[in-house]
Amino acid sequence: MKAYVTTRMRPAVAGVLTALAVVSFAAQGIAEPKHGGTLKMAINPEPPTLMVAVNPQTPVQIAGSKIYEGLLDYSFDLKPEPSLAKSWTVSADGLTYDFTLQDGVKWNDGEPFGANDVVFSFNKFLQETNVGVRNYMANVESVTAKSPTEVSFKLKSPKPAFLYSFSAEQAPIVPEHVYKDEKDFRNSAKNDTPVGTGPFMLDEWKRGEYIKLKRNPNYWQQGKPYLDALYFVVIPDSAARAAALENGDIDVTSFNDIEVFDIPRLKKLPNLKVSTEGYEYLSPMMWIDVNNRVKPLDDKRFRKAMMYAIDREFIKNEIWNGLGEVAVGPLARSTLFFDKTLQPYPFDPAKATQLLDEMGLKPDANGVRATIDMMPLPYGEVWSRMAEYVKQSLAKVGIAANLKGADVAGWRKMFADWDYGTTFTYGYQYADPAVRIGRTYTTDNIKQGVPFNNSSGYSNPEVDKLFDDGAKEADPARRAEIYSKIQHVLYDDLPVLWIMEMKFMTVTNARVHDLVTGGTGVVSSFAGAYVD
């Protein structure tokens, strides 16, 4: 049984519902949620900050989403659900979104939360720090407080995907009273002492070892969180993380904390549970990002030759242990408006060689036609293995790839500054292509120094217009036509090399319950999680 409380209730009503819940749990043979206890979760790499609004990297999202909350959350079937907003309405013309906020919410420093914080977050803070929010807010005419608990967003034109933009990791609400006098939100010292509305708050951070969050005594959901403390344990080595899971030193791993070749073994252990649930909202897509400014990478024939030279079925089955699907194009199969008429580029080294010949790239005495730089993603051994495999594959058609390693901070900076030839990365699709996908390909998102946007430098006015039209179009059939056209154009231009639609694994100790309860998975509050 899944249940959640979306508003603060009168004590008498709350007591009745609590009693009913106990009866229901008992009737189903399910343990009643317990208060108390500690949960330990691996995190890798160690996040540089807990302030999700200034850094959207996955480790920051995992830890920061326990402190900060968004207006909405999302179910396994990608329906919007209440979070800081308990209800919302959309006008008939699709231009006005009114949110009613939860009652009695406080920041973890005891100050009251209200509509002013939401207005400040969207009009000021997130506009400066978050490229995704800045993109969709360009279509917002105004964000105003109608009352202390009511916020109204007025759009310039309809955007059917707008309700998919309010999760904690995309648009965390920040406290106006903390930041209103700050001049540089991104580099503010106050980011080191996070103040949020979530169920947990920072207690201790021992760099290189662990981050300890403690129960927020001011949390607005009555009786929650159940846990007294939550530790994020920094374990850089994947084998050590697997061992820690097996012997009970940690309770949870997620994403690709555990190397895929260890998953079959862990599935057999009675004290562990393995699941792919909870990544539906993210729909992660992996690709090789290609700097289209660099020769010969600026020629789509070269990019296609690279694609034909890589056996992506091998990557899926042998490197990622079958955890995913070979990608077709910019949209994952799980995303709205995926075009089923397209088929993945085949593995065809002969076609790759033909394209390189057409470009006049003849092999030298060593068989090398061209040399490129390739930067692996520093998120574990599986990424290093994949980079080595791609290097070997490209070498077979005469493309020499120089692998250039970097730590997480260095990788992020080089990626943002366009100081790379190719690199491995992955991004989230957030259900509707109007939410996130466009910023990887539209010209207005070519911003040097800002990571996770259009780093490749690809620019096509037709694609720009189509993404703009698709975001505004209200008719689903017409939207399908627009996004089909986008997919076909990008499929031919191939600005990046789509590798795989990823499936991540969450591994939990059997004593852990109700950790993953919706489509945002471990990037959620853990307010209802408890341990035996």
User: Residue 112 gets which letter from DSSP?
Assistant: B
Residue type, 205: W
Over the stretch 65-84, which tens digit does the pLDDT of each residue have? 999 999 999 999 889 999 99
Asked whether the bond before 45 is cis by omega within 30 degrees of 0, the reply is yes
Main-chain phi, psi angles of 151, to 5 degrees: -125, 140
Residue 373 or residue 23, greater confidence: 373
- How far out from the chain centre does Cα 269 lie? 29
- Split at pLDDT 50, 70, 90, the class of 451 is confident
Over the stretch 178-201, which tens digit does the pLDDT of each residue have? 999 999 999 999 999 999 999 999
Question: Which residue(s) pair with 503 in the sheet?
Answer: none
Give the relative orientation of helices 381-395 and 300-309 as an angle to the nearest 10 degrees. 110
Main-chain phi, psi angles of 256, to 5 degrees: -110, 40
Residue labelled with tokens 């080191």: 192
Over the stretch 402-428, which tens digit does the pLDDT of each residue have? 999 999 889 989 999 999 999 999 988
Looking at domain 285-502, which CATH architecture does it have?
Roll (3.10)
- Residue 167, by phi and psi: left (phi above 0), alpha (psi -120 to 50) or beta? beta
Closest CA relative to residue 232, chosen from 258, 209, 257: 209
Task: Confirm if 197 and 176 have CB atoms less than 8 A apart.
Answer: no
Over the stretch 197-214, which tens digit does the pLDDT of each residue have? 999 999 999 999 999 999
- What span, in angstroms and rounded, lies between the C-alpha atoms of 338 and 347? 22
Q: What is the mean pLDDT of residues 99-113?
A: 97
- Split at pLDDT 50, 70, 90, the class of 431 is confident
- Split at pLDDT 50, 70, 90, the class of 9 is very low
User: Quick check: helix, strand or coil at residue 175?
Assistant: coil
- What span, in angstroms and rounded, lies between the C-alpha atoms of 49 and 60? 6
Looking at residue 100, its pLDDT comes to 98
pTM of the entire structure?
Answer: 0.77
Q: What is the mean pLDDT of residues 104-120?
A: 98
- Split at pLDDT 50, 70, 90, the class of 7 is very low
Q: What is the mean pLDDT of residues 164-172?
A: 92
Per cent of the chain over pLDDT 90 is 79
- What span, in angstroms and rounded, lies between the C-alpha atoms of 339 and 328? 9
- How far out from the chain centre does Cα 139 lie? 22
Over the stretch 249-291, which tens digit does the pLDDT of each residue have? 999 999 989 988 899 899 999 999 999 999 988 889 999 999 9
Residue labelled with tokens 């106990």: 22
> Longest Cα pair distance anywhere in the chain, in angstroms?
84
- Domain ranges in the chain are 1-32, 285-502
Could you tell me which residues come within 8 angstroms of residue 253 by beta carbon, excluding any fewer than 6 positions away? 41, 42, 241, 245, 505, 506, 507
Evaluate if residue 48 carries a pLDDT over 90: yes
Looking at residue 30, its pLDDT comes to 52
- What span, in angstroms and rounded, lies between the C-alpha atoms of 301 and 484? 22
- Split at pLDDT 50, 70, 90, the class of 31 is low
The DSSP annotation for 84-110 comes to SEEEEEE-TTS-EEEEEEPTT-B-TTS
Evaluate if residue 23 carries a pLDDT over 50: no
Main-chain phi, psi angles of 395, to 5 degrees: -60, -30
Mean pLDDT across the chain, nearest whole number? 91
Looking at residue 480, its pLDDT comes to 96
Evaluate if residue 6 carries a pLDDT over 60: no
Looking at residue 16, its pLDDT comes to 33
User: Residue 502 gets which letter from DSSP?
Assistant: E
